[in-house]
Structure 1
Amino acid sequence: MRAEPAEFETKLHREADPPGEDGWLFFRDNCWRGELNDPDYLRDLTEDALGVTVLSVDFRELRTDEAYLSALKAEIDANLNLFNADSTAEVLSKYLGSSIRVVDDA
């Protein structure tokens, strides 16, 4: 038995945790300037979560609605000490770069 193709590319969407709740610092812990800071680690996590072999993983964007982005900014602003930054804009730039995409929440 065999599969064709043996490898394929797909998109994986991970829902962002609500600001202030466990896991909300995922972007801080795993991204830098809009890129994964340790792709091998995230590949291993993805393999474990999916139960399949994963060859590579990358980060494309934080796709969010305006309400989530506003809540994220407020939480960052309230916790700037967690980011070694002077402003929310600096935090977003340092960790997500230009990889934020706001979509209509309707």
Structure 2
Amino acid sequence: MSRYVFRVRFRPEPDRGFRIEPATFETTLSKEAAPPGEEGWLFFRDTLWRGEANAPEHLRSLAEEALSVPVEAVDYRRFETTDEEYAALKEAIAADLDLFNATAGSEVLNKYFGSSIEVEPDG
């Protein structure tokens, strides 16, 4: 299963009278990628630009919702996928280049993911 991987820094808010040390924590948060053509598959187009978050506040809000804690920062790290899923993504992109205002699939991948795609062999 393909997934987007983020580094998240958050600050839990303990009940009054309690204190935690350290006050902030960092963790890795991943989001399952929808298969090409299914609802949500354009997450990369709407969220990334050149391998970075194009709307950090939006990602922070998504992370807060997922974790149920106040999030201070979210950094996009990588897109993990398999050979088969990567081929399907490239095929879906190539089938509708106008959707991405591009002339080639490789242009789309670079435009949104930069060099952050990690492909694992199927098997």
The bucket for the TM-score relative to the shorter chain is over 0.9
TM-score normalised to the size of structure 1?
0.95
Matching residue's letter, 1:51: S
Distance (whole Å) between structure 2 residues aligned to residue 14 and residue 104 of structure 1: 20
Relative to its length, the structure with more strand (as a share) is 2
Q: Secondary structure at the match of 2:106?
A: helix
Relative to its length, the structure with more helix (as a share) is 1
Structure 2: which 5+ residue stretches go unaligned? 1-17
Distance (whole Å) between structure 2 residues aligned to residue 46 and residue 94 of structure 1: 23
Structure-1 residue corresponding to 2:85? 68
TM-score normalised to the size of structure 2?
0.82
Structure 1: which 5+ residue stretches go unaligned? none
Structure-1 residue corresponding to 2:49? 32
Where does structure 1 differ by over 3 angstroms across 4 or more consecutive aligned residues?
A: none
1:99 to 107, 110, 116: 116
Distance (whole Å) between structure 1 residues aligned to residue 61 and residue 122 of structure 2: 32
State, as a whole percentage, how many aligned pairs show the same letter.
57
Offset at residue 50 of structure 1 (A): 1.8
Q: 1:68-91: CA deviations, max 9, x gaps?
A: 100000000111110000010000
> RMSD of the TM alignment (CA)?
1.0
Distance (whole Å) between structure 2 residues aligned to residue 104 and residue 15 of structure 1: 18
Q: 1:37-80: CA deviations, max 9, x gaps?
A: 01111101211222111110011111111111000000001111
